[in-house]
């Protein structure tokens, strides 16, 4: 049983169960702060202890199932998720506000990730190396790391946990999953799909709870051999420090302050469309969202006009309304942070071109902020430096590709960046000199494909990459095996 009176339970050792704490966390609809969507467990360390112990015990069973068979469990999960796409998307929209079209797209993205990693069970898991001893066989074999802790954020409540869980499972690890409490119900629905696909009890475990208790406990736990985290830099640094203390592997995906450069030869309609989409889609709550636009001064006024016109057409509202382009911010805290940044922008002297205020009327009950665009922004302003995680874009002028790249790189972050140009030489200069893990030519800063590595440079990540073949590095460790034939006596 997934739920008891709209109270969503933890999933440990193949069973749904309440926390020993007897407490729950309420999940609110950010489009209507009076609506309680449900409650998730406010678990304690004893709950976590049980989940880690069972994941450790089950490791022996799971890693000894062939990877082809493990892949079949993932295939089955993908089929179930696909069948339940509407149901899961609906709950995700209610929990964190993203429009239904996008949450459904996210479920289908999760399905594609599961299918990609299911196939991985049939691919190479080691190499044959030349040996200096001619009769020896020198090989490597990839083996699971062990119990993996997964800490996922609320902004992609379906795709991000799945892009961590699918590779962890196919390579033979067992899991303890702690989702963001804001999206703990969506997490329970995902776990139900894994359960219904027939995964052996104890392989996949879900423990809902506060980050300061369960996230911290998971990072500290000596039996957790690897921890994959997506979220803020401050929490990521704590996860890393805890993991290091007991020698666990860690993988961190954190913030971004993603720039776009629009050169004078760019297709301005296309560049403006993708700049606005990049900044405003999903209410700007993507670590890959566009937040700074460096525009060649010769086309600045024209580009600004098109951007403002496109932004004015965006409709903000409840994610279930089909005409809406983006929904509310995910929580009150998130709205206060974004509004705080907008106020800071004004205080520090930036010029507000559109948006800025929280919305009134029908939308007053939710955490709605309209598309907000500033100009006259300088590099030292807070809105040019810090990650906002809201629908806020800063326009700045540049007069050369060199200046644009220097300004784009002038940040502690290094996740994603894009240039709009038709000049191949400028595109190559950008590819060579931009300091980000994701590089786009004439494309939006957001988005990731399951088969391609995803991650950032500088403070955006722990330099590790997720998805694609890169995930194998993190979720496996390696044995080097030498087979020496015994000389025959006869």
309, containing H or E segment = helix 300-313
CB of 41 to ligand SIN, least distance (A): 25
3-state secondary structure of 198: coil
Closest distance to ligand SIN from the beta carbon of 436 (Å):
13
CB of 146 to ligand SIN, least distance (A): 27
CB of 386 to ligand SIN, least distance (A): 17
Distance of alpha carbon 355 from alpha carbon 345, whole angstroms: 13
Which of 66, 70, 152 shows the shortest CA–CA distance to 114? 70
CB of 128 to ligand SIN, least distance (A): 36
| Of residues 215 and 437, the one with the C-beta less far from ligand SIN | 437
Residue 73's nearest CA partner among 193, 190, 178, 188 is 193
Task: Name 486's Cβ contacts closer than 8 Å, sequence gap at least 6.
Answer: none
Question: What interhelical angle do 85-96 and 184-196 show, nearest 10?
Answer: 160
Q: Which is nearer to ligand SIN, 160 or 193 (CB)?
A: 160
Rounded CA-CA distance 49/53 in Å is 6
Between 19 and 251, name the residue whose CB sits nearer to ligand SIN. 251
Nearest to 108 by CA among 164, 156, 68, 73: 156
Cα 186–chain centre separation:
15
Whether 177 contacts 204, CB under 8 Å: yes
DSSP annotation of 409: H
CA 192 to chain centre: 21
Q: How far is CA 329 from the centre of its chain?
A: 16
> What pairs with residue 146 in β-bridges?
none
For the sheet containing 226-230, what is the strand order?
A: 15-17, 10-12, 204-206, 174-179, 147-152, 226-230, 249-253
Give the closest residue to 342 by CA, choosing from 295, 304, 390: 390
Q: Which distant-in-sequence residues (6+ apart) come within 8 Å of 326 by Cβ?
A: 98, 99, 280, 281, 282, 283, 314, 316, 391
Are the beta carbons of 156 and 182 closer than 8 angstroms?
A: no
CB nearer ligand SIN, residue 11 or residue 156: 156
Question: What residues are labeled active site?
Answer: 253, 287
Q: Which is nearer to ligand SIN, 19 or 416 (CB)?
A: 416
- Specify the residue, 209 or 456, whose C-beta has the smaller distance to ligand SIN: 456
Q: How far is the CB of 385 from ligand SIN (least distance, A)?
A: 19
Query: Least distance (Å) from ligand SIN to the CB of residue 73?
Result: 25
**Strand, helix or coil at 254?**
coil
Residues engaged in binding ligand SIN (CB under 6 A): 155-156, 286-288, 446-448
**In the structure encoding, which two tokens stand for residue 123, read together?**
């691919």
Q: Judged by CB, which is closer to ligand SIN: 155, or 238? A: 155
* Closer to ligand SIN by Cβ: residue 121 or 231: 231
């Amino acid at each position: 049983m997934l739920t008891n009176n709209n109270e969503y339970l933890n999933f440990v050792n193949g069973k749904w169960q309440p926390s020993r704490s007897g407490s729950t966390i309420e999940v609110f609809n950010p489009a209507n702060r009076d609506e309680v969507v449900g409650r998730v467990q406010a678990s304690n360390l004893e709950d976590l202890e049980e989940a880690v112990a069972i994941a450790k015990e089950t490791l022996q069973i799971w890693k000894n199932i062939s990877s082809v068979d493990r892949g079949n469990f993932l295939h089955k999960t993908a089929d179930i998720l696909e069948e339940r796409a509407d149901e899961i998307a609906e709950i995700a929209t209610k929990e964190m506000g993203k429009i239904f079209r996008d949450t459904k797209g996210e479920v289908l993205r999760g399905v594609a990730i599961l299918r990609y990693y299911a196939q991985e069970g049939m691919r190479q898991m080691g190499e044959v190396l030349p040996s200096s001893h001619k009769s020896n066989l020198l090989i490597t074999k990839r083996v699971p790391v062990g119990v993996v802790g997964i800490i996922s954020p609320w902004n992609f409540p379906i795709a991000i946990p799945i892009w961590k869980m699918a590779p962890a499972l196919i390579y033979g690890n067992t899991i303890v999953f702690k989702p963001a409490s804001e999206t703990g119900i969506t997490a329970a629905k995902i776990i139900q799909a894994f359960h219904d696909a027939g995964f052996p009890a104890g392989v996949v475990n879900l423990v809902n709870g506060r980050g300061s208790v369960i996230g911290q406990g998971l990072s500290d736990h000596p039996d957790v051999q690897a921890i994959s985290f997506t979220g803020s830099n401050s929490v990521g640094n704590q996860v890393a420090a805890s993991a290091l203390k007991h020698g666990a592997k860690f993988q961190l995906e954190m913030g971004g302050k993603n720039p776009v450069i629009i050169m004078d030869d760019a297709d301005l309609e296309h560049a403006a469309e993708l700049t606005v989409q990049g900044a405003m889609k999903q209410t700007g709550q993507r670590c890959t969202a566009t937040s700074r636009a460096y525009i060649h001064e010769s086309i600045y006024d024209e580009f600004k006009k098109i951007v403002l016109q496109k932004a004015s057409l965006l409709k903000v509202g409840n994610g279930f309304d089909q005409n809406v382009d983006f929904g509310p911010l995910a929580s009150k805290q998130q709205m206060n942070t974004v509004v705080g940044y907008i106020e800071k922008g004004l205080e520090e002297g930036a010029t507000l071109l559109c948006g800025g205020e929280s919305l009134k009327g029908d939308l007053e009950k939710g955490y709605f902020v309209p598309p907000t665009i500033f100009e006259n922004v300088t590099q030292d302003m807070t809105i040019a430096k810090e990650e906002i995680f809201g629908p806020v874009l800063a326009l700045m002028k540049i007069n050369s590709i060199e200046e644009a790249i220097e300004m784009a790189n002038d940040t502690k972050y290094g996740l994603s960046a894009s240039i709009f140009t038709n000049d191949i030489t400028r595109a190559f200069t950008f590819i060579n000199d931009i300091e980000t893990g994701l590089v786009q030519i004439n494309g939006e800063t957001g988005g990731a494909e399951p088969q391609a590595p995803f991650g950032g440079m500088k403070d955006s990540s722990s330099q590790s990459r997720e998805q694609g073949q890169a995930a194998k590095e993190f979720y496996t460790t390696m044995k080097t095996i030498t087979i020496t034939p015994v000389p025959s006596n006869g």
